[in-house]
Amino acid sequence: MQDNRRSPYSLQFFIQKANLFSNLRHNRPHFWTRIQQNSQPSNLALRLHRLPSHQKHDAHSKDPQKNNHRPFHALMTEPRTQWSVLNSFAPSFYISQQMAFSRLLPLFVFTCQAAMAADWLNWRGPNLDGVSAESIPEDLPKQLPVAWTRNVGIGFCTVSVVGNRVLTMGNKDDQDTIWCLDANSGEVLWKHTYDCELDPLYYEGGPGGTPTIHEGSVYTLSKKGHAFRLDLETGEVLRDRNLVSDHDLELPEWSFACSPVIDGENILYNVGRQGLALARETGETVWFPDNDTSGYASFVPFSHPETGTTHLLFSAKSIMGINSKDGSKTWEVLWKSSRDVNAADPVIISPNEFVVSSSSGTSLISLASGKPETVWEQKDLKWYFNPGVHIDGYLYSLHGTTHRPTELICTDASTGETVWLQEGFGSGGLMSTESKVILFDQGTLTIFKANPKEFQPVHRQKILEGKCWTSPVLSNGNIYCRNAEGDVACVRLESTDG
């Protein structure tokens, strides 16, 4: 059967991205590209995503634990940055089987690289690590233009972006709304509203989980357990489940805050003590080991065959390894935080190591011996809500809580030692490219170089008012910022030379 769905990408969009791709080719000329056939014989799906620099892949291995991807064709390679086709992180481009593949391949490899390099399909981006493949111009103007601002309702979730579509959520009058906005104008393409409590416990309330985009669908989770699947193009509700009533779940004190994470044919949610998996297509529960209280972080992919671990899960009282095949726990380290607020995603440092942090402090945990061992502890580094980013052996993060000024800290990931500290920041979030960090706090956008020697700012600009805890997002040459009241601002990245 011929699939007549239209891609959200237009020819104009691909043309607009040509300059971006040229920049990527100039600065990072070698890529891995993987090509795979869609399961439907009449369609061809080309998909790309950036793989972590520490992740090693064997192009000829058929061992799923070793490679965890389908066979692919390597066009070009470079040791640090790799590009691949992976069905978890990009929409499909559907091409009639009658069209000549040999003629289309060069064009589509080019356009896919240009487009998918820039998309941000889920919380923390393609690798769920907060690092973007895009670059930031060296010659930024003193004031970056704010293209548009739109209020989407109270909340703290970030945005997800595919092509010209921006997805986010907010709450007004005890109703959540899932928004799809036009990236160029901020106009509403579609929205879906449903009843859900604001639940403002010591803060404004509203949704905290970011929408996830995958193969033409949008997946969301509300504070109270509404798990939606919607059509990306139209907003039509394809599925609606209430995970709380369906599984007799116990809500944590601040309700759910995780974002859905795609894992092959399943979707993972941090609800219940060890999480929960739903089948993407049918919505049926695949596994659900325990209905005890959950934490607030999202699942983080972490392939560790020696222990059988596929993901990290920061639960209410521990950090644990999970095998997503059946939801089994592979190991566990107790982690006690004030009021069980384990909210910041763990950050992967190497194939055997990751950093975990909360109000209790920060630790580097290693699985090199086959069991979890603490390498270092740092009590003067605390991530309350948003995790830091790891760049070339160093962590860049905000340390502190909501009721006092926070500090921007650069930490040596191998030792836990503070390399430098910059005062004068508030609670906020950050993300990065491979050379610069983008921080948003107290309504101010700050861009600084990822320099372990010193704090080296390159841009600082007031964007919004009010409380701004939400992490910024860089996608397709735009930086998206949000405040607690739901004002979303789209800031255009421009260089002074045009």
Note whether residue 110 is domain-resident: yes
13 C-beta neighbours (distance < 10 Å), count: 19
- The dihedral built from the CA positions of residue 67, 68, 70 and 76, taken in this order, carries a sign that is negative
> Cα dihedral sign for 384, 388, 394, 396?
negative
Q: What angle do CA 485, 121, 114 make, to 5 degrees?
A: 125
Residue-by-residue DSSP string for 178-221: EEEEETTT--EEEEEEEE-----SSS-----SPPEEETTEEEEE
Residue 279 CB neighbours (<10 A): 12
**Which residue in the block uniquely carries the two structure tokens 């503070």?**
418
Range of the structural domain that residue 97 is part of:
11-116
Residue 127 lies in a domain: no
Residues 400 and 288 in one domain: yes
Check pLDDT > 80 for residue 36.
no
CA distance 148 to 403: 31
Which pTM value belongs to this model? 0.79
Estimate to the nearest angstrom the gap between the alpha carbon of 325 and the chain centroid.
22
Cα separation, 133 vs 50, in Å, equals 7
Do residues 82 and 165 share a domain? no
pLDDT at 26 over 60: no
Instruction: Supply the pLDDT for residue 133.
Output: 93
Q: Say what the pLDDT of residue 400 is.
A: 80
Q: Among the three residues 66, 95, 116, which one is the final residue of a domain in this structure? A: 116
Q: To the nearest whole number, what is the mean pLDDT of the chain?
A: 82
Domain contains 121: no
Q: What's the CA gap between 33 and 117, in Å, rounded?
A: 12
Q: What pLDDT is attached to residue 98?
A: 41
Shared-domain flag, residues 110 and 158 = no
Whether the CB-CB separation of 113 and 31 falls below 8 Å is answered with yes
Convert the pLDDT of each residue in 403-433 to its tens digit: 677 899 999 999 999 999 999 898 999 999 9
Distance CA 31, CA 79 (A): 9
pLDDT value for 403: 65
- The reply to whether 268 and 161 lie within a common domain is yes
Q: Is pLDDT at 129 greater than 90 in this prediction?
A: yes
Q: Domain with 330 in it: what CATH number?
A: 2.130.10.10
**pLDDT computed for residue 244 by the predictor:** 94
Mean pLDDT of 457-474: 96
Domain boundary among 65, 97, 116: 116
21 and 161, same structural domain?
no
What number of residues does the chain have? 498
Specify the DSSP element, H or E, that contains 462: strand 456-462
pLDDT over 90 at 331, yes or no: yes
Domain assignment of residue 498, yes or no: no
Tell me, yes or no, whether 137 lies in a domain.
no
Indicate whether 119 pLDDT > 50.
yes
Tens digit of pLDDT for each residue in 65-87? 444 433 332 333 223 233 333 33
Supply the pLDDT for residue 280.
Answer: 97
Same domain, 46 and 161: no
Q: Supply the DSSP symbol for 339.
A: G
Q: Is 2 within the bounds of a domain? A: no
Same domain, 321 and 406: yes
Mention every residue, 6+ apart, whose C-beta is less than 8 A from residue 83.
31, 32, 33, 34, 48, 49, 50, 51, 113, 117
DSSP state of 472: P
The Cα 321–Cα 461 span in angstroms is 40
Give the helix ranges, DSSP H, for 2-150.
11-27, 101-116
Percentage above 70 pLDDT, the chain: 75
Query: Which tops the pLDDT comparison, 325 or 9?
Result: 325
**Residue 498: band (very low, low, confident or very high) from pLDDT cuts 50, 70, 90:** low
pLDDT tens for each residue of 2-23: 344 444 444 444 444 444 443 4
Q: Are residues 52 and 170 in the same domain?
A: no
Residues 150 and 112 in one domain: no
**pLDDT for res 217:** 98
Question: Is pLDDT of 91 > 60?
Answer: no
What number is the average pLDDT over the span 352-363?
96
More confident residue, 11 or 488: 488
Q: Which residues pair with 331 in a beta bridge?
A: 321
Burial level of 27, CB count in 10 A (0-12/13-18/19+)? exposed
Q: Is the pLDDT of residue 55 over 50?
A: no
**Partner residues linked to 182 by β-bridges:** 165
- Closest among 315, 249, 210, 121 to 241, alpha carbons compared: 249
Indicate if 272 and 410 belong to the same structural domain.
yes
Residue 94 has pLDDT above 60, yes or no: no
DSSP designation for 370: S
| Residues 400 and 323 both lie in one domain | yes
Alpha-carbon distance of 294 to 274, in angstroms, equals: 7
**How much is the pLDDT for 33?**
31
Most confident of 31-35, 107-111, 169-173: 169-173
More confident residue, 36 or 99: 99
Closest CA to 416 of 372, 453, 379, 388: 379
pLDDT greater than 80 at residue 46: no
Q: Is the domain of 274 the same as that of 315?
A: yes
pLDDT (average), residues 227-235: 98
Model confidence pLDDT, tens digit, residues 256-282: 999 999 999 999 999 999 999 999 999
Residue-wise pLDDT for 365-380, tens only, equals 999 999 999 999 999 9
Using only C-alpha atoms, what is the Rg of the chain? 21
- The domain tally of the chain equals 2
In a domain, 339, yes or no: yes
Q: Is residue 386 one of the residues assigned to a domain?
A: yes
